[in-house]
Amino acid sequence: MDDTPPLDRPPSLVVQVERLLRRQVAEGRFPGGRLPTVVELAERLGVSRETVRLAQGVLQRDGLLVKTRRRGTFVRAAAPPPADPAPRAVGYVQAGYAARDGEEGVLGVVDGLMLQGAVEEAGRAGLGVLVRHVLNTEAGRLLPQLAGSPLCGVVFASFGEEKVLRRAAGLGLPIVLLDHSDPRAGVPSVRDDSFAGTRAAVAHLLGLGHRRVAFVNWARTELNPWRARGYRQAFRDAGVARRRAWELAAEVTPAGARRAVREVLALNPRPTAVYCFNNTLAALVVAALWDAGVRVPADVSVVGGGGAAVPGLACHQADWQELGRAAVRLLLRSAAGPPPQVLGPHTFHTGETAAPPSEPET
């Protein structure tokens, strides 16, 4: 099977013009706040008038531009500053996801560590942190609140819906994504290097002599595509054949782990190692294997993908607090050029749940 990831589609002309105008508005490039006419912009940019109208329409909906009949299109005037306009806080929007089948705390430990790091870094800069927790589907409702707060920027943690980020950019505040990235949104981001961490963990198992390594991913596979890519790349690096049937998905619950273990044990030939989305799922898989009479690591090795600390578990782990600190540093830094994408490295811990297979594999 060809595992080549799909190519990113180039942005449309409307999106390109919208991004250019948004940047020029932010830089104050329009004297008196008035934009050239649609005809002038179309000729200047080498696009159709309709493309310019559609791009301006996006900025009008975002509140950056206002069109006045017979006078033209203007940059919306900023509201009068309060008596003390100096921003004294960083906004921190933590997105949550509705639990499935009894799931709890899938990302809770990681979320808490990242927030702790962000609070520490903001404190060093003499700033407070305005924290808001919302479901990912409701993040857009917070924008009016953020617009009315004296903030120097906003960190969106574990969330990156493009249309909400575009609306947030219309507030004129710096934005940084944490634990997520989306090149289409054109927003700086900080996240752990899941691809490299997974690649190294699976390479460790292959190096121990395992040739049949299953991957139990979180059921919400769309939230982290990098782990699956790292898993597949490790097999390519080692020149070892891989089967699609070895890739499974499960809820991070005891029941989800038991179902995944039943699927792993039903495979023929049976995998001798299992890599799990995070440490919480790995610990549940270890327990389910023992309950099924399978010894860990004598019969099956298990490696976790980071998160909550589990004593004795073989896993890779990122410095989640440092990621939170890095997000605030990036937020407070005035940078020119393309939005930076910061990747935090993982460290592998050998633990006690991974060992060479009991018999050499072919």
Tens digits of residue pLDDT in 85-120 = 556 889 898 877 655 555 555 557 888 899 999 999
| Region of 6 on the Ramachandran plot (φ > 0 left; ψ -120 to 50 alpha; else beta) | beta
pLDDT at site 103:
56
Token pair for residue 298? Answer: 């004598």
What's the mean pLDDT when you consider all of the chain? Answer: 85
Cα Rg of the chain, angstroms? 24
Q: Is the pLDDT at 82 greater than 90, yes or no? A: no
Q: Domain ranges in the chain?
A: 13-75, 89-192+320-346, 194-317
pLDDT at site 15:
85
Find all residues with CB under 8 Å of 344, minimum gap 6, and list them. Answer: 190, 191, 192, 193, 318, 319, 322, 323, 326
Q: Is the pLDDT at 8 greater than 60, yes or no? A: no
Per the DSSP assignment, residues forming a β-bridge with 95 are 134
Higher pLDDT, 260 or 2: 260
Return the CATH superfamily for domain 194-317.
Answer: Response regulator (3.40.50.2300)
pLDDT at site 102:
55
The tens digit of pLDDT for each residue in 312-337 reads 999 999 999 999 999 999 988 865 56
Question: What is the average pLDDT across 14-29?
Answer: 85
- What is the C-alpha separation between 249 and 243, in angstroms, rounded? 15
Confidence of residue 140 (pLDDT cuts 50, 70, 90): low
Read off the DSSP letter of residue 339: P
Confidence of residue 3 (pLDDT cuts 50, 70, 90): low
- What is the C-alpha separation between 52 and 37, in angstroms, rounded? 10
The tens digit of pLDDT for each residue in 198-218 reads 999 999 999 999 999 999 999
Q: Is the pLDDT at 192 greater than 50, yes or no? A: yes
Q: Residue type for 34, please? A: R
Would strands 89-96 and 273-276 be described as parallel, antiparallel, or unpaired? Answer: unpaired
Which whole-number Å values give the CA distances from 307 to 282, 283, 313, 321, 344, in the listed order?
A: 10, 11, 12, 12, 14
Percent of the chain scored above 70 by pLDDT? 81
pLDDT at site 114:
93
pLDDT at site 304:
97
Question: Domain 13-75 belongs to what topology?
Answer: Arc Repressor Mutant, subunit A (1.10.10)
Higher pLDDT, 173 or 294: 294
Q: Which CATH architecture has domain 89-192+320-346?
A: 3-Layer(aba) Sandwich (3.40)
Confidence of residue 162 (pLDDT cuts 50, 70, 90): low
Q: How far apart are the first and last CA of the chain?
A: 21
Q: Is 113 helix (H, G, I), strand (E, B) or coil?
A: helix
- What is the C-alpha separation between 18 and 20, in angstroms, rounded? 5
pLDDT at site 83:
45
Higher pLDDT, 134 or 155: 155
pLDDT at site 73:
86
pLDDT at site 2:
56
The tens digit of pLDDT for each residue in 234-248 reads 999 999 999 999 999
